[in-house]
Amino acid sequence: MARPDRYWLVLAAALLVTGSAGQVVLIWFFKDLVDGVLVPRQFSHFWPVAAAMAGTAAASAVATFLGDYTAARVAERFMLRLRTATVEHLHTLPPDTHRKRWHGDVVARLTADIYRIEELVATGVVKVGSALVSLVFFAGAAVYLSWQLAVAAFVISPLFFFAARSFSRRIQIRSREARRRNGGVTAVVEESLANSALAHAYNQQEREIARVRREGQALLRADLATARVAYAYPAVLDVLEVVAGLTVVGLGVLELSRGALTIGGLLAFAAFLTELFGPVQQLSRLASVFGAATAGAERVIELLGTSPPARERPDAIDLRPVHGLLSCENVEAIYPGEGAVAVLRDVNFSVAPGEILAVMGPSGAGKSTLAKLLVRFMDPAAGTIRLDGVDLRDCTLASVRDAVTLLPQQAQLFHATIRDNILYGRPGATEEEMVEAAHNADAHGFITALPRGYDSVIGEDGFQLSGGQAQRIAIARAFLRGTPVLVLDEPTAGLDAEAAAHILEPLRRLMTGRTTVLFTHDHRLAGGADVIHTLPRTASGGQQRQRVSSGAS
């Protein structure tokens, strides 16, 4: 994911290294200021040295700023790329896969966890590279000033790495638990707010608050456990740095007393020592970043590793043009992880172009599973589903879904304008085509009665619309899409008798001339079918199939 910005990463590291080199030169000028101006009291030499120091400081600051900004740019681009790729993968998975997870936890993985990964992969890479080169600069300057003191500093430096090794594993374990708890809190808050109406209706507000508090307390404990280790780590490093610095400076005083080192040289060495321990400390602190990034990466990789139940074959063909001859031959469906029990078995039917097949049966008979098979949210474990004589598994997923429109039981609407929701069926449609679709769905009347008409913004899941109105918006979207095959999954379920009656005629218009598989308990809809197929309650039972005349009840 970071590869497209690898040259920018190198540039950021080079700029930061240039800034560090400027610090080396600045300290050297400081040595000259002490030894050449202050100690001999040659104040006339102050201004040239001061000008050189000011110029070096400005150049170093500019290089550091550009390096930090470039690293930040790379980091943001990396997060955008990784988040987009993860969402892209999630959109290859059918809705059932998402329902097995808390949405809030998925959101936490796409935000906080990806940010933790970025801290290591993008920013961390630059920091490691610049810190290592800075170490070489400052170590070389220290050796040049006094190799004896430099050796003492190098002997003490490994203490920082031993501290890093000691703390790294503890931080990683605690960070993993904190990331998991953070996802849990996000998920519970999202679920609690989504079901607030139920909580109010059942007087369960305190219960919902208690759930959030419980998850929050678990996150609090995990975060505090991480904080204890993470904050103890830099504190230990700070103590090590002071002890190491005092030790080396103490040796420097001995060198000064013997005349082997000037006052300016000692002060410069102390400055180099501070700069030397800075990169070492920075590298050591990456242990905590690594721990958090590893925990976040495990959670994101787990998402990316989820395989869709319907996979496109490498030699898949486009299914075009489509006439609408649909058939199922000995179809069997099995959900993984459920003991390999067949949800559907030996399903056989054939629907001619333009015919309506009504699929009926009790709850649990597998009607929704069959609907998923027809739009390839999953593939059959056995048997074949054909469209115009072609096995759907031999076709590209895009071409199958371009030929089939699914109208689910609950109208799925976006928090957007009514126009945007209808045009979702065919974004390139004209205004006239959109309005015609709304007319066909008997939705134009109530839409134009709204204060802003088609520009009215509806809430999430159509909050500002009644159930029947939301379903008519969905029907208008299906009209606009205009595919030759329709799959209607209980389109009147959940509606009262009056609302259901209002959408019967739009549904009949929608089905006219299209191959339609209608899953319903509503005998008013099923009565208009050319073929009725009844699924039994169990997979082992027989199936009934009968042809009826149009309009039969």
pLDDT at res. 305:
79
DSSP strand pairing (382-387 vs 356-360): unpaired
In the numeric block, which tokens belong to residue 264? 């300016």
DSSP strand pairing (356-360 vs 531-534): parallel
Q: What is the rounded distance in angstroms from the CA atom of residue 31 to the CA atom of residue 47?
A: 15
Phi, psi of 483, deg, nearest 5? -80, 160
Is 70 exceeded by the pLDDT of residue 99?
Answer: no
pLDDT digits (tens, 9 = 90+) for 354-398: 899 988 877 777 888 888 888 888 888 889 999 999 999 999 888
As a whole number, mean pLDDT of residues 222-240 equals: 80
Q: What is the rounded distance in angstroms from the CA atom of residue 150 to the CA atom of residue 224?
A: 39
In the numeric block, which tokens belong to residue 171? 């931080």
Q: What is the rounded distance in angstroms from the CA atom of residue 321 to the CA atom of residue 402?
A: 10
Q: Nearest Cα to 109, choosing from 309, 304, 306?
A: 304
Full DSSP string of 328-378: EEEEEEE-TTSTT-EEEEEEEEEE-TT-EEEEE--TTSSHHHHHHHHTTSS
Indicate the class that CATH gives domain 3-304: mainly alpha
CB of 105 closer than 8 Å to CB of 186: yes
- Break the chain into its structural domains and give their ranges: 3-304, 326-547
As a whole number, mean pLDDT of residues 428-444 equals: 91
Which letter does DSSP use for residue 457 in this model? Answer: B
Three-state DSSP state, 272: helix
From 110-124, 315-329, 442-456, 514-528, the region with the lowest mean pLDDT: 110-124
Mean pLDDT taken over the chain? 79
Q: Which residues of 318-328 are buried (b: 16+ CB within 10 A; e: fewer)?
A: ebeebebbbbb
pTM over 0.85: no
As a whole number, mean pLDDT of residues 99-114 equals: 70
Please state which of the four CATH numbers 3.40.50.10490, 3.40.640.10, 2.102.10.10, 3.40.50.300 is assigned to the domain occupying 326-547: 3.40.50.300
Percent of the chain with pLDDT over 70: 85
Bridge partners, residue 384, by sequence: 329
In the numeric block, which tokens belong to residue 35? 């030894």
Using CA of residue 187, residue 188, residue 194, residue 195, what is the dihedral sign? positive
pLDDT digits (tens, 9 = 90+) for 250-305: 777 777 777 766 777 777 777 766 776 667 666 666 766 777 777 778 888 887 87
Q: Is the peptide bond before 48 cis (omega within 30 degrees of 0)?
A: no
Is 90 exceeded by the pLDDT of residue 436?
Answer: yes
As a whole number, mean pLDDT of residues 307-329 equals: 85
What are the C-alpha distances in Å from 38 to residues 27, 31, 45? 15, 10, 9
Bridge partners, residue 518, by sequence: 358, 488
Strand arrangement of the beta sheet that strand 326-334 belongs to: 342-351, 326-334, 382-387, 390-391
As a whole number, mean pLDDT of residues 20-24 equals: 81
Q: For residue 182, give the H/E element and its range.
A: helix 158-194
Q: What is the rounded distance in angstroms from the CA atom of residue 173 to the CA atom of residue 297?
A: 13
Using CA of residue 127, residue 130, residue 132, residue 137, what is the dihedral sign? negative
Structure-token match 């989820």, residue found: 306
Phi, psi of 535, deg, nearest 5? -90, 140
